[in-house]
Structure 1
Amino acid sequence: MTTTRQPRDTPLPADAPLARELLDGLAEAVLTTDETGRVTMLNAMAAELLPEITVGTELSRCPVAALAQAVAADADRFDADHHGRRLRGARRQLAGPRFAWYVRDVTEEHDRADALRAERSRTAFLAEAGSRLGMSLHRDQVLLATTTLAVPYLADVAVALPRPTTSTEPHARWFRHSDGEPAPVSGLAPATLTRTVPVLAEALAGDLAEPVPWRSAELTDLATTLPPGFDSPGAVLVCPMPGADGSAGALLLVRRAGRPDFGEREIELAREFAARAGAALATADLHGEQAHLARVLQTSLLPPELPTVPGVTLAGGYRAAGDTLRIGGDFYEVFPHPRGALFALGDVCGRGVSAAVLTGRVRQSLQTLRLVEQRPLELIHLLNRALFDAPDAARRSQFTTLLLGSLDRGPAGVDIRIAGGGHPAPLLVTSDGTATPVPVGGTAVGALTAARFAETRVHLDPGDLLLAYTDGVTEARGPRDAEMFGEARLRAVVASAAGQPPAALIHRVLETVDDWLDGQAHDDIAMLAFRASVPA
């Protein structure tokens, strides 16, 4: 039996039943053309996707413009939107000057790609919003960032209205940014605004859970928040900005007339964006409250202005350990009395707020105890007992080193009694530049209930100076080998500044320590200097 094989490049006849059945079963449109460019065959899918084309149609003049242009330009591909569908065609040459066009419906594929691009765009928008809003710790900065981020991605105009901070505010303050404005602006909204846009009052009160589209031609009061010359608004979306304990505010997204309304996905995106803005606004409000408390704490804990003590020139120096609050564990106090003054200089164990809290307690205790006892040694014992009598003494492991002294003017200088609680020895600087430590000793205050304290006496002749300091000076470490500044360098600096006023000497010490640190982190520093006045 002999079998005749058909050449591989010879197409099946178009009217062959099997060929027709196979072609009609394909999921893509197939049509062939002859040497004149006219259609010779179409399968069932071609008839469905391209109903305008029939056998005999000249493709270069067919109603499908993209296909006609491809044929005229002798191109092998085309893409077109046709009857609401996205079509993509490819041409393949057959035997002779004949061609076959294969056309696929890629609408779903195209829609998926569009959806993926849109989702990536939304994700990028929310990521940028989260980053910029998270960097804003001031209430106004958050509101300005909210409006600038929303335009033009979500709307043509964005108006942010924070919840009034007090019940006495008659109007809501708004922040606005619009497409075309060089910078955001702010103003006061009329009291009637919440009545004009009813859901706005609900959003500000925290009674609105989801964004609400709003469209009305009668939004006359809304015009006061819109840019000058802005046409009648089209779509308006009212978005609640939820905070930690209710509403943080509301966000109005306004589109010009003619721009499409907010779709379901856009409303969801606006909801997520407004939620991030509300969280950032709540964080900014919390930060503002903490900053206010910090300023109050800072004001109460910073060293006070030194009083005037007859016969003595005073100066103090203070520098916290590089934190932004400018509060720490080093402190000094001077309490004048008729004979002279009572002074204290101490160093609480630790840094920052926790040390500052104990600092405040020590200073308040001294303020009270000095009214009943002004002898340094007896007073330091009372202070130690008071710290252990505090309600949290059992949980607290902090203590303070302390110099507690009294200045008494005499006919020829100043007599000083100093009680010590584990603090570095002060320096006695005579008028000839000699700097001598004045050992005091004692154990730290607040460390032991049965602590032992010591007392010493020193006399200042006219022109002599006593410098008390905390270990932040001597233990300052330089950038090379972390070497400490040390007592020897301090004595050398003090000796070189002998004869200068106390304020100039302290400034000289601080300046020298700064040079030694060369920008490195440092401990708290406090200094107190007394100079016996020289008779006129």
Structure 2
Amino acid sequence: MTTTPRDGVTGPVSGGGRAVRSSSRRTPATPLPADSRLVRELLDGLAEAVVTTDAGGTVTLVNAMASALLPEVVPGTALVGCTLPALADAVRDGAEGFETDHCGRRLRGVRRDLADGRYAWYLRDVTEERARTDSLLAERARTAFLAEAGSRLGMSLHREQTLRTTATLGVPYLADLAVVVHRAPSPAEDPPHWVRYAQGDPAPVTGVAPATLTDTVPGLAEALDGDVTDPSPWLDAQLADLAALLPEGFGRPGTVLVSPMLSAGRPAGALVLVRTAGRAGFDERDTELAREFAARAGAALGTAELYGEQAHLARVLQNSLLPPELPAVTGVALAGGYRAAGDSLRIGGDFYDVFPTARGAMFALGDVCGKGVGAAVLTGRVRQSLQTLRLVEQRPLELVRLLNRALFDTPDAVRRSQFTTLLLGSLEREADGAVRARIAGGGHPSPLVVRHDGTVSPVAVGGMPVGALTSARFAQADVRLAPGELLLAYTDGVTEARGGPREMEMFGERRLHRALASAAGLPPAALVDRLLQLVDEWLDGQGHDDIAMLAICPTGPA
């Protein structure tokens, strides 16, 4: 600040009120009074409102901006009891600043200390700034809500779980009560169902919607048809009809917003959001957010329904592809064991089957090239072919040859150059209770015979894989089992299971032979369980190939 020329003195006013003469000769300067016109003009030119007070809290100066902002604050009056309590409190408490609402505006004040215990308060109207900040925070909250909703709905792959998640996510951020009205996937279901959740409820509640629901909730009928409606007040006349829909003690509903839940372009349900009478209604941003949330919930519900259909289909296919329950065969005890190679559907390329015959039974055990669903498809084809071909041919060697031809008659697009190793045998009871097994082979590990004394010996069958070559050659071997002796057919998933102390060592044939010898005399079911347990312990949770085994033991004369 500079003074006007006076007595040849010009220059900036120093903190001590002294002026500097142009000739550098210093003379005492005349101090400016606090209420001088110059000071007032300078303060009135500031963009901020300024109020100064003395040590006792009496206003000493108010600039033009402060007068416009706070016309009730005038010089010479005490701030105590003024219409701006926040300023009076800040002066009394010696606070560094304050922020308060005043006449519909947001004011912020900052204190600056002056000499002799006086203060200057710089006041600013931050209404627009605060509105922009609040808008930014609200937008961030909306984005965070949609992100959490998308994450939780994306992890929900079951229909009922998706409905419950939708109802709980909307409370309390969007409303005080959320109701998801939906129809069951089956068209036979007539009335709509609902899932309701209110703030304070321990868990969502489900129920069947009354017949009057679509008529009494404004916009519900339109939403179930896929149309959007505006928020509406909840009329008192609707309370009697919808008392069952509202939780006990909820209070009087204020406004209701109904949004369609669309799935693949078709209505999957409707989201009803209700706010109590004491809460503000739905503004434009609330409505947009609710509709976006309902759209995401509808998409998640459609995904869950599709997943449910696929899971049901997978279960049906799984039941048809899993090894069957073994039939009862007179004079023979049977037991099977199965482990899929880590497939979530528990289906793979190893299989076994037993077909009763007039003189005993036929059995098959094989290992299709590959694993998982692709191998399971060929497994099903092999089993179906055997089911059919055995009706016209029951000699094992001839049946294997027929199966080889049948697999080559399958289109290449279906076979994809897959083949299977196979043991196919017939069991015929003898008068003394023994069983004669005739086994044809197609490139499969030799079955093992466990005698009474614990001796374990392979039945050398041989042969080439089935479905690999049109000119493949197959072999056959015979073995006689006395009552109590056991024949074990298994796939290479048993001997090639890698684990043990080094984690990569194979279970191997020698270890399998020792396990069978120590289990001699056990019933087939107990022996199979024992072998599966040993393999599981050997693997110790590591991945493995498909495993299948079939144990056959004569029980004596019928």
Q: Are 1:44 and 2:64 an aligned pair?
A: yes
AA paired with 1:267? Answer: T
Alignment correspondent of 2:173: 153
- Displacement of 1:293 after TM fit? 1.1
Q: CA deviation at 1:245?
A: 4.7
The one of 409, 428, 432 aligned to 1:389: 409
Q: 1:216 — aligned with what?
A: 234
Of 160-169 and 342-351, more deviation after overlay is shown by 160-169
Match of 1:284 in 2: 304
1:474 matched to which residue of 2?
495
- When structure 1 is superposed on structure 2, of 91-100 and 13-22 the one drifting more is 13-22
Partner of 1:485: 507
Find the residue that maps to 1:225 and give its secondary structure.
Answer: coil
2:3 aligned residue: none
1:170 aligns with 2:177: no
Q: Determine helix, strand or coil for the equivalent of 1:161.
A: strand
Q: What amino acid is aligned across from residue 234 of structure 2 in structure 1?
A: S
Select the residue among 446, 454, 468 that pairs with 2:467. 446
1:8-34 alpha-carbon deviations (Å, 9 max, x no partner): 255866666665444333221012335
CA distance in 2, matches of 1:271, 1:114: 22
**Relative to structure 2, which stretch is displaced further, 84-93 or 113-122?**
113-122
Give the superposition deviation at 1:196.
1.7
Distance of 1:191 and 1:306 partners within structure 2: 51
Q: Is the CA contact (8 Å cut-off) linking 1:163 and 1:247 kept in structure 2?
A: no
Q: Is the 8 A contact 2:222 2:229 kept in 1?
A: no
Q: CA–CA distance in 2 between the matches of 1:138 and 1:90?
A: 57
**Which has more radius of gyration?**
2
Q: Which amino acid aligns with 1:215?
A: P
Match of 2:50 in 1: 30
Which residue number corresponds to residue 4 of structure 2?
none
Residue of structure 2 aligned with 1:265, choices 285, 290, 303: 285
User: 2-side partners of 1:495 and 1:45: how far apart?
Assistant: 103
Whole-Å separation in 2 of the counterparts to 1:235 and 1:326: 51
Query: How much is the aligned-residue C-alpha RMSD, in angstroms?
Result: 2.3
Partner-residue secondary structure (3-state), 1:60: coil
Instruction: Determine the structure 1 residue equivalent to 2:25.
Output: none
Please show how residues 60-459 of structure 1 align to structure 2 within 5 Å. Answer: 60-205=80-225, 207-208=226-227, 210=228, 212-217=230-235, 218-220=237-239, 221-393=241-413, 396-412=416-432, 413-459=434-480
Shift of 1:296: 0.8
| Structure 1 position 228, deviation (Å) | 2.5
Q: Which amino acid aligns with 1:6?
A: V
Q: Which runs of 5+ in 2 are unaligned?
A: 1-7, 18-30
Contact 1:32 1:40 (C-alpha < 8 Å) held by counterparts: yes
Inter-partner Cα distance in structure 2 for 1:380 and 1:399: 13
Deviations 1:306-343 (A, max 9, x none): 22323322222222223332222111111111122221
Which letter maps to 1:93?
A: D
8 Å CA contact 1:163–1:250 kept in 2: the answer is no
Cα shift at 1:511: 1.7
Q: What is the CA distance between 1:272 and its match in structure 2?
A: 2.3
Aligned counterparts of 2:16 and 2:197: Cα–Cα separation in 1: 67
Cα distance, 1:127 vs structure 2: 2.6
Corresponding position of 1:505: 527
Deviation by residue 1:275-311 (Cα, 9 ceiling, x = unmatched): 2222222222122112211211121122222223233
Contact 1:346 1:403 in 2 (8 A): yes
2:436 maps to amino acid: D
User: Helix, strand or coil for the counterpart of 2:549?
Assistant: strand
* CA 5–159 in structure 1, closer or farther in 2 if over 3 Å, else same: closer
Specify whether residues 305 and 3 from structure 1 end up closer, same or farther in structure 2 by C-alpha distance, changes over 3 A only.
Answer: closer
Is residue 556 of structure 2 the alignment partner of residue 534 of structure 1?
A: yes
- The alpha-carbon deviation at position 4 of structure 1 amounts to 5.9
Aligned length: 534
Counterpart CA distance in 2 for 1:111 and 1:499 is 85
Structure 1 CA distance, aligned partners of 2:102 and 2:96? Answer: 18
Q: Give 3-state SS (helix, strand or coil) of 2:242's partner.
A: helix
Q: Which amino acid aligns with 1:424?
A: P
Give 1:36 shift.
Answer: 5.3
CA spacing shift, 1:469–1:245, aligned 2, 3 Å: farther
- Which deviates more, 4-13 or 103-112? 4-13
The TM-score normalised by the length of structure 1 is 0.93
Taking the aligned partners of 2:178 and 2:56, their CA distance within structure 1 comes to 60
Contact persistence 1:197–1:219 (CA under 8 A): yes
CA gap 1:421/1:66 in 2 versus in 1, 3 angstroms: same
Deviates more, 1:485-494 or 1:497-506: 497-506
| Distance of 1:166 and 1:506 partners within structure 2 | 43
**Contact 2:349/2:370 (<8 A) preserved:** yes
Residues 271, 385 of structure 1: CA spacing in aligned structure 2 closer, same or farther, 3 A cutoff?
same
Identity of paired residues, percent? Answer: 68
Read off the aligned partner of 1:104 and give its amino acid letter: R
Q: Separation in 2 of the partners of 1:388 and 1:173?
A: 53
Amino acid at match of 1:92: R
| Alignment deviations for residues 28-84 of structure 1 (CA, whole Å, 9 cap, x no partner) | 101233565433332222122112122333223422111111122233322111111
